[in-house]
Amino acid sequence: MTMRIDLHTHSVVSDGTDTPTRLVLKAMEVGLDVIALTDHDTFDGIPEAIEAGKRIGVKVMCGIEMSTQLDGHSVHLLGYGCDPFHRPLVQELAKIRVARTGRLKAFAERMTELDMPLGVDDIIAAAGASPSIGRPHVADALVAKGYVGHRDEAFDKWLREDKPGYVPRYACELSAAIDLIHDAKGIAILAHPWGRGNEAVLTAEVIERLTTEKGLDGIEVNHPDHDERARELLFALGGRLGLIRTGSSDYHGLGKRNNPLGGENTRDTAYREMLRRIRLRGGIV
């Protein structure tokens, strides 16, 4: 029997809107057999999600979505099966989260300069208890103030890298992030590599180099940000390079309007290959 597998989801621990337990409950409700919780730059939601999965009957993979950069461009890297207590990775994630929090004042000042008065307290209130505060919480604060109608509008008008409200921050260099995930006994998969204008950054040549030189394990092929052309080309590229090719929703609850949980799925064969590689590294399955 074919399993339904969604390996890219977020909880309220980063920029989603569901608790880890509620996320797992929703996974069961939509008929998913396996999910991965991949909060931004933190493993803090993993224990709750795994325990909920055991009670509810949904397999939960230990995952993370790590903020990285390549030549100054933002790149998201998914890690699966990592030891969440591996000290070098934990230290790097803490450094990234500090950089996230450190730019809140600059965001507030930038928005105020753009005639949308915003305070750091507004952003923190929007983030709730999340240890990984980022642009989505700035967007939520803008929504709460009535400046925009939803997160997508905030990003499209103000918060993307090429928009007037964007504030840069520290992110780990991509090659170093792959090494950290491998050293933590996990596998590294590029998230939505050709979404959001990144096709010019993560070219086929770059992906091939990351595969041959750094041992990149896979690429996310089926993703809401990828059109049919991108999916076809990435699937063929991944096959040629021996990469695991995944499909995932990038679910954020109410935080994203076009990313329904289970809307994109990973094939059973790709999932089994992920588990095989994680076991070989001694990671968490």
Q: What pLDDT score was predicted for residue 196?
A: 84
State which fold the 104-159 domain adopts. Answer: DNA polymerase; domain 1 (1.10.150)
Domain ranges of the chain: 5-83+177-281, 104-159
Query: Does the structure show a pLDDT above 90 at 257?
Result: no
Q: Looking at 44-58, 245-259, 270-284, which range is the least confident one? A: 245-259
For residues 173 and 270, is the Cβ–Cβ distance under 8 A? no
3-state secondary structure of 70: strand
Percent of the chain with pLDDT over 70: 100
Q: What is the pLDDT of residues 28-49, one digit of tens each?
A: 999 999 999 999 999 999 999 9
First vs last Cα of the chain: how many Å apart? 21
For residues 89 and 194, is the Cβ–Cβ distance under 8 A? no
User: Residue 165: which of 189, 148, 183 has the closest Cα?
Assistant: 148
Average pLDDT over residues 74-89: 98
Domains 5-83+177-281 and 104-159 share a fold: no
State which fold the 5-83+177-281 domain adopts. Answer: TIM Barrel (3.20.20)
Mean per-residue pLDDT of the chain: 96
Q: What pLDDT score was predicted for residue 212?
A: 98
Query: Does the structure show a pLDDT above 80 at 169?
Result: yes
Q: How distant is the alpha carbon of residue 26 from its chain centre?
A: 19
Query: Does the structure show a pLDDT above 80 at 74?
Result: yes
Q: What is the pLDDT of residues 183-209, one digit of tens each?
A: 999 999 999 999 988 999 999 999 999
Q: What pLDDT score was predicted for residue 91?
A: 98
Pick the more confident residue, 21 or 131.
21
Q: What pLDDT score was predicted for residue 235?
A: 98
Q: What is the pLDDT of residues 105-137, one digit of tens each?
A: 999 999 999 999 999 999 999 999 898 899 999
Model confidence at 256, pLDDT cuts 50, 70, 90, reads confident
For residues 79 and 66, is the Cβ–Cβ distance under 8 A? yes
- pTM reported for the whole predicted model: 0.94
